[in-house]
Amino acid sequence: MHAPLFGELVVILGLAAGILLLFRRFRLPGILGFIVTGIVAGPHGLGWVHEVESVEAMAEIGVILLLFVIGMEFSLKKLASLGRTVFIGGLLQAGLTTAAVTFVLGLFGMRTESAIFIGFLVTLSSTAIVLRVLQEQGKMDAAHGRASTAILIFQDIIVVPMMLVTPMLAGKSSDLSGDLFLLLGKMVLLLVAVFVSGRYVVPRILKQAVKGKGNELFIITIVVICFAAAYATQALGLSLALGAFFAGLIISETDHAYHATGIILPFHELFMSFFFVSIGMLVDLGSFLASPFLILGLFIGMTVLKVLATMLSVWVLRYPLRTAMMTGLALFQLGEFGFILAMPGLDDGLLSEAHYQLFLSVAILSMGATPFMLEYAERIVRRTFLSFVPARAAKRLDRLVRVRQEQDRSQARILRDHLVIIGFGLNGQNVASSAINSGVNCVVVESDPDLAEKARKLGLVVLVGDGAQVHLLERAHVERARVVVVAISDAAVTRNIVVAVRSMSSAAYVIVRTRYVREMRALLDVGANDVIPEEFETSIQIFHRVLRRYLVPEDRIQELIGGVRRDHYGLLRGQGTNRLKSPTSAVSASAGMDLVTITVTLGHNKVVGHTLAALQLRERCGIQLLAIRRGGRFIAPPPATERILTDDMLYLLGTPDDVARFEQQLR
């Protein structure tokens, strides 16, 4: 690596880190932070970066990985399940927006080809920003959240044919019909390659790559598939990004899709940051400052046009008028795929440099406004639109399209209060068998394809991959699980899994199996609730049989064994431990109640420093604080005057939902 480029990478990443911290404070999207980094450090800003071409090369890798990840997260089954909201709603939104933009720009004298291309750019919204904000607000399962997601999926798909049509719009084809047939033939060839590879070739390759310890071979295999497909489509005269999308689509149909996505995501995030930085480097602040009113006017006009087109597209699908408006406000902005599509348009002459600068300015302005628009969308709908349309008129409009009911009900079955088993060896199989016999819903996470297939034959939900990957744990809905069992033999991997689980949930009860007692302390320190070492369990079985031979009553034996396990085998290790008196005299656990331990960590929360009397946990949250572990001692039961301090371990009794509500106050 050249020394100047290395230095400039340090400048870019360091500046981006500072700007992102500032943007997080004001709840602005990270994408906008990277663009501002490029504006500040680029040739039109302070001029700190001169190796622009090298940054653009890394940005192209980011685009390839972006399409690759979208392909892996997109599957034909998922598309079919979303149904007409994707196809009809997305097609209507794209068609209406493109047609409206083309008509308006045609009135101002712009040639039709350029007007259509700009219509393409305006159609696309920001998948990254909208979905992230909806997740933070907990609105993904709301009616407008589902409608927005469906249309965004369609936009992610339609950008591929838009990229293919762009050269034709630019007039680079002397034989339009011949080129269309050639393009169709290439697409058919690609689809055949996708089918054959996804059905027969790639699953076998990945099955061999995933065997054995370590992810090195699997990572290399995934990257080779991605870049080989991108290179193949470029050789056919198509885009690199298109090949990456099809490569991701192939992997999405295998059992290893979640595992591959979890591995690629960090690389994707890094290289996509360079893409947005490179976009910022193209922004000329001089042109923005020269015509601020024009840019503001274009922003307002684009927003009104796009909101109306999206609202109409959703409303005709029999969603309530209010939901249609909320969806329109969610998708009003220009998106990151517009940046990708704009580059070939600029090269092909469909966009002038002046129009490109206007597009960048309006896109950045709309992206920055998105979090605020989504936060106040409901208030905007109530105070603007619905204040001018009487409730009676709105109901008549809804009856006109026979609006569907129960729009806020989730269409997907979400796992809740279930058991997650990580590792399907002998111990995992025994736990799963007990869960099945007891009617407990469970999810299995297993990296070995053969063991995963064995679990699948039992009718279990199975995710293939590394249990330490947060992406995979999200798919298993660990944050909603009641119990997580880690049943693998590698102590280091087990610790990583427990850390990943605790990063997502403090309420889940984590039970870990390990071989040796010396591994217990490290696992307890990172968040495991129970650690079961095989060597001491063997001792307990011997202990059980010996006492039975001495005619000790069975209930007394079980009481002794239970005490040993509660003390984390301290009796067998010859260690004295602080005993927490049984809370059964103070509380009576009812059905659905769990005993949960939560550690109070640093952060802006509403609990630290307050007394138990002031917190009123039972009245406000429906939970009871049984004890506090502070340092090496227990406070049980804690008095009303006791204050909660950082690093306290709280022993709580309550339902999973009540505990989750209390956990929100600790963040």
Closest CA to 217 of 208, 226, 225: 208
Q: For the domain 419-528, what is the CATH code?
A: 3.40.50.720
What pLDDT score does 136 carry? Answer: 63
What pLDDT score does 411 carry? Answer: 35
Cα distances from 257 to residues 67, 69, 72, 153, 222, in angstroms, run 14, 10, 6, 18, 10
Cα distances from 324 to residues 125, 390, 442, in angstroms, run 16, 16, 37
Domain with CATH 3.30.70.1450 in the chain: 586-665
Contacts of 338 (CB under 8 A, 6+ apart): 121, 122, 124, 359, 363
CA-to-CA distance for 207 and 50, rounded, in angstroms? Answer: 44
Instruction: List, edge to edge, every strand of the sheet that includes 633-635.
Output: 594-599, 649-654, 624-630, 633-635
Contacts of 275 (CB under 8 A, 6+ apart): 58, 59, 60, 62, 63, 66, 339
Return averaged pLDDT per consecutive 10 residues of the chain, 667 residues in all. Answer: 67 86 80 83 77 72 77 64 72 91 89 89 84 69 78 79 79 63 73 76 80 75 85 74 78 77 77 78 76 89 92 85 86 84 83 86 84 82 65 56 45 68 86 81 86 86 83 84 86 86 86 78 84 66 57 63 60 44 36 66 73 84 82 78 85 78 74
| Cβ 654 vs Cβ 593: under 8 Å | yes
Closest CA to 467 of 450, 454, 485, 455: 485
Contacts of 41 (CB under 8 A, 6+ apart): 11, 12, 15, 48, 49, 277, 281
**CA 159 from centre of chain:** 21
Buried b or exposed e, range 330-361, using 16+ CB within 10 angstroms: bbbbbbbbbbbbbbbbbebebbeeebbbbbbb
What pLDDT score does 551 carry? Answer: 54
What pLDDT score does 228 carry? Answer: 85
CA-to-CA distance for 239 and 233, rounded, in angstroms? Answer: 6
CA-to-CA distance for 251 and 198, rounded, in angstroms? Answer: 7
Which CATH superfamily groups domain 586-665?
Regulator of K+ conductance, C-terminal domain (3.30.70.1450)
What pLDDT score does 214 carry? Answer: 64
What pLDDT score does 123 carry? Answer: 92
Domain with CATH 1.20.1530.20 in the chain: 57-379
| Cβ 36 vs Cβ 78: under 8 Å | no
What pLDDT score does 356 carry? Answer: 86
Q: Give the bridge partners for 598, in sequence order.
A: 650
Domain with CATH 3.40.50.720 in the chain: 419-528
Instruction: List, edge to edge, every strand of the sheet that includes 509-514.
Output: 461-464, 442-446, 419-422, 483-486, 509-514, 530-533
- CB half-sphere exposure, 218, CA atoms < 13 A: 26
User: Residue by residue, what is the 3-state secondary structure of 420-464?
Assistant: EEECCCHHHHHHHHHHHHHCCCEEEEECCHHHHHHHHHCCCEEEE
Pairing type for strands 442-446 and 419-422 reads: parallel
Contacts of 130 (CB under 8 A, 6+ apart): 148, 152, 330, 331, 333, 370, 374
Joined together, the tokens standing for residue 263 give 């591995």
Contacts of 152 (CB under 8 A, 6+ apart): 125, 127, 130, 131, 331
Q: Which class does domain 57-379 fall in?
A: mainly alpha
What pLDDT score does 100 carry? Answer: 92
What pLDDT score does 633 carry? Answer: 77
What pLDDT score does 99 carry? Answer: 92
